[in-house]
Amino acid sequence: MQYRVFVSRRLPQEALDIISAVAEIDLWEGDAPPPRDVIAEKIAAADGMLCLLTDRIDGPLMDGASRLKVVSQMAVGYDNIDVPACTQRGVKVGNTPGVLTETTADLAFALILATARRVVQADNELRGGEWKTWSPLQWTGTDVHGATLGIVGLGRIGYEVARRARGFDMKVLYCNRSAHEGAENDFGAVKVSMEELLAQSDFVSLHCPLTTETRHLFGTEQFKQMKPSAILINTARGPIVNQIELAQALQDGVIAAAGIDVFEAEPVPLNDPLLQVPADRIVVLPHIGSASVKTRTRMAVLAAGNLVAGIQGLPLPHPVN
Ligand code: GLV
């Protein structure tokens, strides 16, 4: 075959079929990400690469990859890829926007409900034999309906979280560079300053990309500006939150709880301070925002489409650069 591609993890067959129709696939069969030197060696002989958010793609890695025409990421976020370095080398970058929007918004809402109503804690304590009787006070949480939700970053996913919030009669505040007329008209969302959002929200849900501006956007100072009863939800990227300071804020009761799907280092080390926070104050998930069978298949198919377009020198259906 004329083209050869490196695919850094096993994918749904539908996606592999799209790729193998035009290219020979060099597939990494490991469950763990391929080591950096392996990626470098593989892409040195490849026209394209399909990667995941666990693969760091930067200039030095691509230095020996003279054939490489495209890096296709199976995710919407692409902070693991040095896009300017790709552009400089004439390497196209693609991602998978749109298809995971609703699935990720569902998970953000699952974390809102789970943290507010102590779902995971109550399940664990029932299994631990702590359900002795129906009790007026045990496992009481906070209402989601009618509460105020602050959305930081009102893009596609933030909009879908706001749409779900409307069904719960929530008041929606948001911080975003530009106003989102759709969310304002459709759900009465109100654009406010970060200070106002922090001061007024019962739930603060993060939906911005990880950039130099958003790295550690949330830390002690922001937690102190939140209500002591507030709950922080992060389904975006771990480094948007200073994780050590979040652990401290939860331990000290500066905020009430957190629902966290993404971490500064993934997988989160089991001795991380965040995992020492008592389970009544935090629900932790292993970065499963987009993890429905249907959505992961659609993401892989989209990434395969970007890959095969890129190796053939065609415009990517979902370009980043
Ligand atoms: C997942 O986190 C994604 O960016 O698609």
Query: Does 43 share its domain with 184?
Result: no
What's the whole-number average pLDDT of the chain? Answer: 97
89 within a domain of the structure (yes/no) = yes
Question: Residues 118, 180, 281, 287: which is the catalytic one?
Answer: 287
Is 206 in the same domain as 305?
no
- Is the shortest distance between the CB of 76 and ligand 1 below 6 Å? yes
Q: Are residues 258 and 302 in the same domain?
A: no
Note whether 68 and 144 are same-domain residues.
no
69 falls within a domain: yes
Q: Active site residue: 237, 281, 298, 318, which one? A: 237
Whether residues 11 and 158 share a domain: the answer is no
Distance CA 37, CA 33 (A): 11
pLDDT digits (tens, 9 = 90+) for 57-95: 999 999 999 999 999 999 999 999 999 999 999 999 999
**118: left (phi > 0), else alpha (psi -120 to 50), else beta?**
left
pLDDT digit string, tens, across residues 238-290: 999 999 999 999 999 999 999 999 999 999 999 999 999 999 999 999 999 99
Structural domain harbouring 229: 101-284
Nearest CA residue ID for atom 3, ligand 1: 75
- Residues 177, 251 within the same domain: yes
Q: What is the pLDDT of residues 293-311, one digit of tens each?
A: 999 999 999 999 999 999 9
15 with 136, same domain? Answer: no
**Angle at alpha carbon of residue 131, lines to 129 and 134, rounded to 5°:** 170
**Are residues 66 and 130 located together in one domain of the fold?**
no
Domain count, the chain: 2
Residues 134, 270 within the same domain: yes
Whether residue 145 lies in the annotated active site: no
Q: What is the pLDDT of residue 242?
A: 98
CATH code for position 260? 3.40.50.720
Based on the fold, state whether residues 247 and 303 are members of the same structural domain: no
Together in a domain, 129 and 186: yes
Residue 172, domain member (yes or no): yes
Residue nearest atom 5 of ligand 1, based on CA coordinates: 75
Interaxial angle between packed helices 101-116 and 156-167, expressed in degrees from 0 to 180 and rounded to the nearest 10:
50
Distances, alpha carbon 48 to alpha carbons 29, 72, 224, 287, 301, in Å: 17, 8, 47, 26, 15
Q: Model confidence at 126, in pLDDT bands (50, 70, 90)?
A: very high
Residue 32 is given by DSSP the state S
pLDDT, one tens digit per residue, over 173-223 is 999 999 999 999 999 999 999 999 999 999 999 999 999 999 999 999 999
Q: d(Cα 83, Cα 89) in Å, to the nearest integer?
A: 10
290 lines ligand 1 (CB under 6 A): yes
The reply to whether 118 belongs to the active site is no
Pocket test of ligand 1: the residue of 95, 100, 234, 299 to mutate, having most ligand atoms within 8 Å of its CB, is: 100
- Which atom, in ligand 1's list, is nearest to the CA of 77? 4
> What confidence tier does 1 reach under pLDDT thresholds 50, 70, 90?
confident
